[in-house]
């Protein structure tokens, strides 16, 4: 049978696998066919795993066994997991045992992971199918996937434009029907911005909600793993599958860490006539750098929420304008520390020099790209003697002020709404020679990473261009631990049942 990948969701696929409408092998083959047809142009996948069909076959065996158990014991029969047999793609900085994990860098071109990341172990427990590893900005440093050592990922809506970054491959794979869901990592918007550019849904969970064990660290106080999918419901399903406390990651939290029972929206949900309150930082949206089509689409989205019964009000976030500056001090500092392990000695590319120090220099010079080197140098500078207090400590103090502003705002609202990005997908090469212009693309997304708050990007419209239309994303941010508020509002906005 012909499988309609454009309208397929995890729940629909699960039900079809249950009924026997198609098998996981057939579903996986349908995605492999799409990848074969489109990836040569889009470059979302760096590698398609040769054993994808074999994985699907194992999932089918589990499904068949589950059906047998259920039919022989109707009282206690259990369904197979929701993600069983569901084809997915994985960002190239997330370790899968025995597979190459290069972080899109020449430095790790032939590095094979020796263990599974916790999120991979959880997906394997559900018998999800891994189609392949996805392109990204080298070591997740960038906002366009132009920094990949293996070529830029192109936007499926317009191949002359970027897919966003650093999880550009993850977003493009879903947008081109090359996976039913993917995993990405988000340090300053690296899930949400490409989701916005590619017209899909991307979730950055609460800091610590998902284990980062087995994920190459970029900014350890900022990084989070999250899902990209076609619907909010699918992102919710994946989030529930991968979240949870992990003894291998000391930053992880459990559901009792944050009190989500006393939320304003919890009371509102008991009364179907009353819905959540959405706050809008209007002063922050008055800058010249926001595309008029993005602002128009954002305002129309707010009207949609109002029509659905939500209250929309203006809020003040006095220190939000400093977010980007704070981020680009703290993030490079953490990059500088985390990248110290890639010295060409223990693993990865090695080049011989005249001395051990020269080995380090030669290995890094041969293996690292321009943007990674730029961030290492900047981070080393702000951490150096004489500048540590002036830059790093001061940035941390302002970070706390920004967090306090958000927490105060959440005393009166349930969700804070902004555009996901100030523009739609830009032309490939348009901003590669202007790092500041590239960094400004993160202006709305970095706040969720600085504060540790959960945020989601959902499609909210299109900008008409000569070659067609370009997606626009709406970003919703909620209280710590309150992803449920994002799921409720996001599904309501998109009309998901």
Q: Find out if CATH 3.90.1300.10 is the number for domain 10-73+84-242.
A: yes
Rounded mean pLDDT, 80-98: 98
Q: Are 6 and 34 in contact (CB under 8 A)?
A: no
Mean pLDDT rounded to a whole number for the chain: 94
Q: In this structure, what token pair is assigned to residue 229?
A: 């999918």
pLDDT of 480-490, one tens digit each? 999 999 999 99
- First-to-last CA distance in the chain? 26
Q: Are 178 and 114 in contact (CB under 8 A)?
A: no
Confidence of residue 131 (pLDDT cuts 50, 70, 90): very high
In terms of Cα–Cα distance, which of 456, 448, 453 is closest to 474?
456
Q: What pTM does this model have?
A: 0.96
Residue where the block lists tokens 């394997």: 124
Higher pLDDT, 367 or 233: 233
Rounded mean pLDDT, 219-236: 98
pLDDT at 77 over 70: no
pLDDT of residue 76: 52
**In whole angstroms, what is the distance from residue 123 CA to residue 228 CA?**
15
pLDDT at 336 over 70: yes
pLDDT of residue 178: 98
Rounded mean pLDDT, 343-351: 84
Q: Are 89 and 178 in contact (CB under 8 A)?
A: yes
Residue spans of the domains in the chain: they are 10-73+84-242
Residue where the block lists tokens 């699960």: 14
pLDDT of residue 459: 98
Q: Which residues are known to be catalytic?
A: 91, 166, 190
pLDDT of 399-450, one tens digit each? 999 999 999 999 999 999 999 999 999 999 999 989 888 999 999 999 999 9
Burial class (CB in 10 A: 0-12, 13-18, 19+), 51: exposed
**Residue 9 DSSP class:** -
pLDDT of residue 262: 46
Confidence of residue 70 (pLDDT cuts 50, 70, 90): low
Whether the bond into 385 is cis, omega within 30 of 0: no
Rounded mean pLDDT, 31-50: 98
pLDDT of 248-294, one tens digit each? 999 999 988 997 654 555 555 545 557 899 999 999 998 778 999 99
pLDDT of 135-184, one tens digit each? 999 999 999 999 999 999 999 999 999 999 999 999 999 999 999 999 99
CA dist 430 → 4, 82, 154, 228, 438 (Å): 35, 41, 13, 26, 9
**In whole angstroms, what is the distance from residue 275 CA to residue 285 CA?**
24
Q: CB neighbours (10 Å) of residue 20?
A: 10
């Amino acid at each position: 049978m012909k499988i309609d990948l454009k309208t397929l969701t995890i729940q629909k696929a699960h039900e079809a696998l249950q009924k026997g409408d198609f098998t996981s092998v057939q579903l996986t083959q349908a995605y492999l066919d799409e990848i074969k047809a489109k990836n040569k142009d889009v470059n979302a996948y760096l590698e398609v795993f040769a054993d994808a069909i074999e994985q699907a076959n194992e999932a089918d065996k589990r499904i068949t066994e589950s059906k047998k158990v259920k039919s022989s014991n109707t009282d206690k029969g259990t369904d197979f997991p929701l993600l069983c047999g569901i084809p997915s793609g994985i960002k190239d900085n997330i370790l899968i045992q025995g597979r190459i994990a290069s972080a899109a860098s020449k430095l790790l071109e032939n590095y094979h992971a020796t263990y599974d990341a916790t999120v991979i172990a959880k997906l394997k427990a559900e018998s999800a199918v891994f189609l392949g590893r996805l392109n990204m900005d080298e070591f997740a440093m960038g906002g366009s996937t132009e920094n990949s050592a293996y070529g830029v990922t192109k936007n499926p809506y317009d191949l002359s434009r970027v897919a966003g970054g650093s999880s550009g491959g993850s977003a493009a794979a879903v947008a081109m029907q090359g996976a039913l869901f993917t995993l990405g990592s988000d340090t300053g918007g690296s899930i949400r911005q490409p989701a916005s550019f590619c017209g899909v849904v991307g979730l950055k969970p609460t800091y610590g909600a998902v284990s980062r064990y087995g994920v190459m660290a970029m900014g350890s106080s900022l990084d989070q793993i999250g899902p990209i999918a076609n619907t909010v419901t699918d992102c919710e399903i994946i989030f529930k599958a991968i979240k949870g406390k992990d003894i291998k990651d000391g930053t992880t939290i459990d559901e009792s860490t944050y009190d989500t029972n006393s939320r304003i929206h919890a009371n509102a949900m008991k009364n179907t006539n009353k819905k959540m309150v959405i706050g809008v930082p209007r002063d922050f949206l008055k800058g010249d750098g926001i595309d008029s089509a993005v602002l128009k689409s954002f305002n129309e989205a707010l009207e949609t929420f109002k029509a659905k019964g939500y209250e929309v009000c203006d809020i003040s976030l006095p220190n939000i304008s400093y977010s980007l500056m704070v981020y680009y001090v703290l993030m490079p500092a953490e990059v500088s520390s985390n990248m110290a392990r890639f010295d060409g000695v223990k693993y990865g590319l090695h080049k011989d020099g005249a001395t051990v120090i020269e080995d380090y220099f030669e290995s890094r010079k041969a293996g690292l790209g321009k943007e990674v080197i730029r961030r290492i140098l900047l981070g080393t500078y702000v951490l150096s003697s004489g500048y540590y207090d002036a830059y790093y400590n001061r940035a941390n103090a302002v970070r706390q002020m920004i967090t306090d502003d958000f927490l105060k705002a959440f005393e009166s609202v349930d969700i804070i709404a902004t555009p996901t990005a100030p523009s739609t997908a830009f032309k490939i090469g348009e901003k590669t020679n202007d790092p500041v212009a590239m960094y400004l693309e993160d202006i709305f997304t970095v706040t969720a990473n600085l504060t540790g708050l959960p945020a989601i990007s959902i499609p909210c419209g299109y900008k008409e261009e000569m070659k067609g239309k370009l997606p626009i994303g709406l970003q919703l941010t909620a209280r710590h631990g309150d992803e449920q508020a994002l799921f409720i509002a996001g599904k309501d906005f998109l009309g998901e049942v």
